[in-house]
Amino acid sequence: MHKTKIVLVVGSLLIAVALFGEESVGDLKVDPSIIPAELANAAVLLRERALIDNLSVDIVESLTTEVGPRRMGTEGDRRVIAWSQAKFRELGFDRVWTEEVALERGWIRGEATAEIVSPYPHNIVMTALGYSVGTEGDLVGEIVEFETFADLEAVPEGDSLEGKIAFVSYSMNDYVLKPGDGRMSAYGEGGKARGRGHVTAAKRGAAAIVIRSVGIDNNRYAHTGSGYGYVDGVKKIPAAAISPPDAVLIQNMLKRGGPVTVKMNFTSEITGPTKGANIIGEITGREDPGHYLVLGAHVDSWDEGTGALDDGAGVGSMMAAAAFIGQMETRPRRSVRVLLFAGEEIGFYGVNAYHEAHKDDLHEHLLGAEVDSGGGRVHTLISGVGEESLPYVREMYKLVAPLGIDWSDANDSKGSSDMSVLGRAGMPALSFMQNSNDYMKYHHTPNDTFDKIIPEDMRYLTAAYATMFFLAAEMDLDFRK
């Protein structure tokens, strides 16, 4: 079946070479002393198959349609644990299991309404940040704007903001446009007020904190996200994000010089302990099953969209990449595992539990990667491996280069998102950098839905990981060295 499909691929000069078993692959001149020709050709076949197979997209469709929102500790979370196991089995994984993850507190979002009371009445779009307390009825206060989190921090601790609503209007867009500043650093900057603003504002007496949503869109949705929890001895104040258009609206009113008063009401509530699970699927290695390559994504999502880009795209691409490896003629030499982590959005619960449980066998994890930047086009490969294995990885890269992927010499990847916890603990990693424009527009909003998935980009993403991890599973390398 695969061969039939493959000959349909237009424009791939590599196919003929692959089918006839030449030692070099097109113009890429893969060194057969590093990657045997037969293996290189098998990798090309796998890659080209992944480019024409929509499995990764179909998985996201299934996840977002059949499960939908799935914040850890909610009913959707319980559904996704069942869905994941069933999907792994359907895709032919050899072993499927779950590992329990404890969550010390749950959270109910409740309903949120907000309005500008004066000088001009408007309903505005506001959403509670994760694990915020509720407002206990209407909370009415005058807005005090801070353009950055640093401006809020610069206010001396005390009661100068008493009864006020602190408003951090930092716009990720403005920051992104500055030359030399990357999108991820702009996201990190925005994350400061989102993560710590409620404590910082409370220490200055504020009744609540509201931030402009951390994202690059101008849709009238608020981007939720998680604070880092409350601090003992500091008043627990509500924390919320408002949509970019409503941030502009408030700023335009403030420019007129008079006070701007906002009323907010949300019924969020922190609840008791609960639990979830990491879900793991394995393609078991034919020769060395006790060593494995790990492909990660987080299975939870925020609760207002259906989590298509964050992180359905990761779930779909990683499950499909491993499934494609499992559909080769033989099992790979070593095992390939897909780790679907619980509770990334609310504080890396799944990966932290995994790390704790697998400290003693972390050495069996040979190489890891995670997709958690949406389904956008892959453009650069960054490795994070030992000096001895680096030339091998560089040679493996030649087999994904035809996907339009550049090579980075940095060799400092720890893996992204959850996987970086294991990467920092010593597990070798690699990352394909992606175009994250859409991700930064839609993630953490009701607008993160299946229609935002671009199938061709998903196939490229899946092909990239399938190819690299197939090679990594076949070759006898210790990526730590």
42 binds a copy of itself, rule: CB under 8 A? no
Residue 313 Cβ vs a copy of itself, minimum distance, rounded to whole Å: 15
Q: Does 115 bind a copy of itself (CB under 8 A)?
A: no
In the bound complex, what is the minimum distance in angstroms from residue 364's beta carbon to a copy of itself? 37
CB of 78 to a copy of itself, least distance (A): 13
- d(C-alpha 190, C-alpha 195), whole Å: 9
Given the structure tokens 């796998």, which residue do they identify?
A: 46
The verdict on 66 binding a copy of itself (CB under 8 A) reads: yes
- Tell me whether residue 67 or residue 295 sits nearer to a copy of itself (CB atom): 67
Site residues for a copy of itself, 117-136, by CB under 8 A, read 120-122, 125
Whichever of 125 and 240 has its CB closer to a copy of itself, that residue is 125
How many other CB atoms are there within 10 angstroms of residue 463's CB atom? 28
Judge whether 280 and 99 are in contact, CB under 8 Å.
Answer: yes
φ/ψ of residue 26, rounded to 5: 55, -135
Question: Is the CB of 194 or the CB of 452 nearer to a copy of itself?
Answer: 452
CB 174 → a copy of itself: shortest distance, Å? Answer: 13
Could you give the dihedral angle defined by the CA atoms of residues 297, 312, 110 and 272, in that order, rounded to the nearest 10 degrees? -30
Give least dist CB 308 to a copy of itself, A: 9
**Does residue 456 interact with a copy of itself by CB under 8 A?**
no
For residues 304 and 418, which CB has a smaller minimum distance to a copy of itself in the complex? 304
- Establish if 435 lies at the interface with a copy of itself (CB under 8 A): no
> Which residue in the set 24, 98, 148, 218 belongs to the binding site for a copy of itself (CB under 8 A)?
218
Question: Looking at 217-225, 279-287, 360-368, 425-433, which segment touches a copy of itself (CB under 8 A)?
Answer: 217-225
Give yes or no for residue 221 binding a copy of itself (CB under 8 A): yes
With CA atoms as reference, report the closest residue to 270 among 131, 142, 416: 131
Q: Which is nearer to a copy of itself, 63 or 322 (CB)?
A: 63
Pick from 133, 210, 216, 249 the residue near a copy of itself by CB under 8 A: 249
**Alpha carbon distance 195, 152 (integer Å):** 13
34 vs 254 by CB, closer to a copy of itself = 254
Residue 226 DSSP label: B
- Nearest approach, Cβ of residue 64 and a copy of itself (Å): 8
Residue 258 CB, nearest approach to a copy of itself (Å): 12
Binding residues among 43-62 for a copy of itself as defined by CB under 8 A: 61
- Cβ atoms of 127 and 268 within 8 Å: the answer is no
Structure tokens at 111: 């309903």
* Residue closer to a copy of itself (CB basis): 224 or 420: 224
Query: In sequence order, what are the residues at sequence separation of 6 or more whose Cβ sits closer than 8 angstroms to the Cβ of residue 403?
Result: 47, 51, 378, 460, 463, 464
As a whole number of angstroms, the distance between CA 14 and CA 210 comes to 54
List own/partner pairs for 387-395 with CB under 8 A and 24 or more apart: 387/481, 388/478, 388/481, 389/428, 389/477, 389/478, 389/479, 389/480, 389/481, 391/34, 392/34, 392/35, 392/475, 392/477, 393/430, 393/479, 395/30, 395/31, 395/34, 395/35
Q: Which is nearer to a copy of itself, 190 or 307 (CB)?
A: 307
Which lies closer to a copy of itself via its Cβ, residue 219 or residue 327?
A: 219
244 binds a copy of itself (CB under 8 A): yes
All residues at 6 or more sequence positions from 36 whose CB lies less than 8 Å from its CB, including other chains? none
Fill in the per-residue mask, 284 to 323: x = in contact with a copy of itself (CB under 8 A), - = not in contact: ---------------------xx-----------------
* Order of all β-strands in the sheet with 165-168: 122-124, 112-118, 261-266, 139-146, 165-168, 208-212, 239-242, 126-128
Instruction: Give the tokens for residue 29.
Output: 């001149």
How many residues of this chain interact with a copy of itself, rule: CB under 8 A?
30
**What is the three-class DSSP state of 31?**
coil
Pick 244 or 276: Cβ nearer a copy of itself = 244
Smallest separation (angstroms) from a copy of itself to the CB of 243: 9
Least distance to a copy of itself, CB of residue 199, Å? 30
Judged by CB under 8 A, the stretch of 126-134, 185-193, 244-252, 330-338 that binds a copy of itself is 244-252
Site for a copy of itself in 156-195 (CB under 8 A): none
User: Least distance to a copy of itself from the beta carbon of 195, Å?
Assistant: 25
DSSP string, 156-193: PSSSTTTT-EEEE---HHHHHTSTT--HHHHHHHHHHH
Place of tokens 């907010």: 264
Q: Of 225, 159, 219, which is closest to residue 193 (Cα–Cα)?
A: 225
Q: How far is CA 295 from the centre of its chain?
A: 13
Q: Is 219 in the site for a copy of itself (CB under 8 A)?
A: yes
Distances (CA, A) of 213 to 65, 141, 352: 26, 20, 27
Please tell me whether residue 411 binds a copy of itself under the rule CB under 8 A: no
- Judged by the rule CB under 8 A, the positions of this chain that interact with a copy of itself are 61, 64-68, 120-122, 125, 218-221, 244-246, 248-249, 252-253, 305-306, 445-447, 449-452
